[in-house]
Structure 1
Amino acid sequence: MGRIVSNFFISMDGVVERPDQWHFGYFDDEMGEVVGSGMASTRAILMGRTLYDEWSQYWPDQGDEDFGGVINPMPKYVLAHEPFEARWQNTTVLSGVDDAAVAEQVRALKERTADGEVTMSGSATTVRWLIAQGLLDELALLVHPVAVATGQRLFEGTGTVPLELTESRALASGVLLVRYAPVYS
């Protein structure tokens, strides 16, 4: 069965919102290698509706250079409360009458991607939902040595979420790569 891995740039105080405001000063070749290796096993992208709306307005017009060449042809799956017509190439909308129906579609997606990972990025709300449904396999966090103080945090209003550390290392920039697996009871 495939795995769902969520990747985040995150501040020391847990903020994941607007990394464009605080992340780029820490991005270097070493971090690029970490991000690139994470994409190497990616077979599909999973995202929430808000991220889809943002990315589908930008990436299709960027051509095949850099990340556009990766994201545009790749299969994309969007979790949405209501069905909608997706116009970005290779996009499938996963929606249903309730959480259980959508979760079943995500489980089927994991089964179809048995040879790789479904990468999920950019939405703390979607990560929280995936964890609540027992569907997230790994959180891959690049923890930046900065306190942002304002913005959405990864775990807001979730209660306790037990995690098991599976990898950690410090990058030369002071950013920490930490990987956690949610512990489902």
Structure 2
Amino acid sequence: MKKLISGLFISLDGVAEAPADWHFPYFNDEMGAAVDAIWSRSDTMLLGRKSWQEFAGFWPQNPDAEGADVMNGTRKLVVSSTLDNVDAWLNSTLLEGDPIEAVRKAKAGEGKAISMSGSLTLTRSLLQAKLVDELHLLIHPIALGSGARLFDGGEHVPLALLSSTTFSTGVLHAVYGPA
């Protein structure tokens, strides 16, 4: 059975929306190695519609960007109730039917892990369904005050801390699993 590994850049006050607007001043080799370690353990990406559209709008047009070979070459599973096709980005497959059951079926397959980046709504749903095996939070030492949060209220998701590392920038890499 495949593991599902979710990774998010997140602020101290739980905001995970639009990390491109606030996270780069904290990015260094330590964080790059942590992110690379997640990707190296996976052979499939799982993305919600918004993240897929954002990534599909960048990576195919920038084949020489660092990491483009991984992003473009990796198999991508896309969860969306509004997209008709995902032909705009190579190796993308639109998951059919109930997203929770589709992810459960994908996890039952053989191979390396399935990794996620972003996709807050999908991440919340999969955490509640107890399908996330590892939640990697790269907690940045900044409070943003507003923006979409990983937990937006009402959820009860017990987690257990598996490991934590503090980077020289003050970013905390906390890895959680199901409690």
**Under a length normalisation based on structure 2, what TM-score does the superposition of the two structures give?**
0.93
Q: Deviations over 1:67-105 (max 9, x none)?
A: 211111110000112461111111111131xxxx33222
Residue 41, structure 1, aligned to residue 38, structure 2: no
Mapped to 2, the partners of 1:144 and 1:169 lie a distance apart of 12
How many residues align? The count is: 178
> What is the root-mean-square deviation in Å for CA atoms of aligned residues?
1.4
Whichever residue aligns with residue 127 of structure 2, its letter is I
1:58 alignment partner in structure 2: 58
**Under a length normalisation based on structure 1, what TM-score does the superposition of the two structures give?**
0.90
C-alpha contact 2:128 2:155 (8 A) present in aligned 1: no
Q: 1:104 to 1:159 in 2, by over 3 A?
A: closer
Shift of 1:129: 1.0
Range moving further from structure 2, 81-90 or 173-182: 81-90
Shift of 1:109: 1.0
5+ unaligned residues in a row in structure 2: which ranges?
none
1:72 alignment partner in structure 2: 72
C-alpha contact 1:41 1:116 (8 A) present in aligned 2: yes
Shift of 1:157: 2.5
**What are the equivalent positions in structure 2 for 1:147-158 lying under 5 Å apart?**
147-158=143-154
- Percent of pairs identical after alignment? 40
Whichever residue aligns with residue 169 of structure 1, its letter is T
**What are the equivalent positions in structure 2 for 1:109-148 lying under 5 Å apart?**
109-112=106-109, 114-148=110-144
5+ unaligned residues in a row in structure 1: which ranges?
none
Q: Which runs of structure 1 show a deviation greater than 4 angstroms over 4 or more consecutive aligned residues?
A: none
1:16 alignment partner in structure 2: 16
Mapped to 2, the partners of 1:32 and 1:103 lie a distance apart of 30
